[in-house]
Amino acid sequence: MKNAIRIAIVMVVFIVTVTAADEQTGEWSMPVNGLKGRLIAKEDKPFMDTKIVAVYMELANVSDVGNPMEFYFDPTTSIVSNVVDEKGNDVAQPPNAASIASPGPYWLAVPWDGLLRFRASVSGYGIYKNSGTDVQMMSGNWLIRPADKQNYYLQAKLVSKPPAGDKRRSWSGELQLPRVLIPH
């Protein structure tokens, strides 16, 4: 019985360790007008033997007002991102075609003292067979070659500006999100 419990504990620790290794969580940003955020990058299902990275944005309402934090989100322009190497140099994007379907702009709300997590990465860029690790964002597509063992990071900012004439008391501004390590 004791051996079975030990084996079970070892298996749980192994599963948690393997799962945690596939997901990288960035640091929280500094709050801007009561909103802070961070990026999460994790391995997604591979496609054509190429690793795909799913990127999530997590936002927290840390305002001292007990209301939801509404903001205007345009999937094509609200997230501006790029991939950099260890030294902060921009990584070039491969030439490829894209066909990305995206909804129009809409309103999102983060509950008071609450979190909102949503997928920020997209799909629809051309993917070459067995080409390494692919990071697909609306603002670009980055490819890390299979033999490349260097660390790469995704950095982004959230930009929100309500439509002209809108009377809501919504959040607007730019939120710089700290970089997150890309698993590959």
Q: What is the CATH number of the domain that holds 119?
A: 2.60.40
Given a cut of 90, is residue 94 above it in pLDDT?
Answer: no
* 115 within domain boundaries: yes
Does 9 map to a domain?
no
Strand partners, 123: none
Residues 145-158: tens digit of each pLDDT: 998 999 999 999 99
| 3-class DSSP assignment, residue 174 | strand
The mean pLDDT value for 46-67 works out to 94
Look at residue 101 in the predicted model and tell me its pLDDT: 81
What are the Cα distances from residue 105, in Å, to 29, 32, 78, 139, 143?
24, 22, 9, 16, 28
Q: Judge whether 90 lies within some domain.
A: yes
Euclidean distance between CA atoms 182 and 22, whole angstroms: 9
Is 13 among the domain residues?
no
- Residue 14: inside a domain: no
Considering the chain, what percentage of its residues have pLDDT values greater than 70? 89
Pick from 139, 58, 64: which is nearest to 98 by CA? 139
pTM (two decimals): 0.85
**Residue where the block lists tokens 């391995």:** 43
What is the tally of structural domains in the chain? 1
CA distance 36 to 134: 27
Query: For residue 156, is it within any domain?
Result: yes
User: Which pLDDT score, from 0 to 100, does residue 37 have?
Assistant: 98
Could you tell me the residue range of the domain that residue 49 belongs to? 25-181
Tell me whether residue 148 is in a domain: yes
Cβ atoms < 10 Å from Cβ of 85: 13
Q: What pLDDT, in 10s, does the model give residues 118-150?
A: 999 998 888 888 889 999 999 999 999 998 999
Structural domain contains residue 167: yes
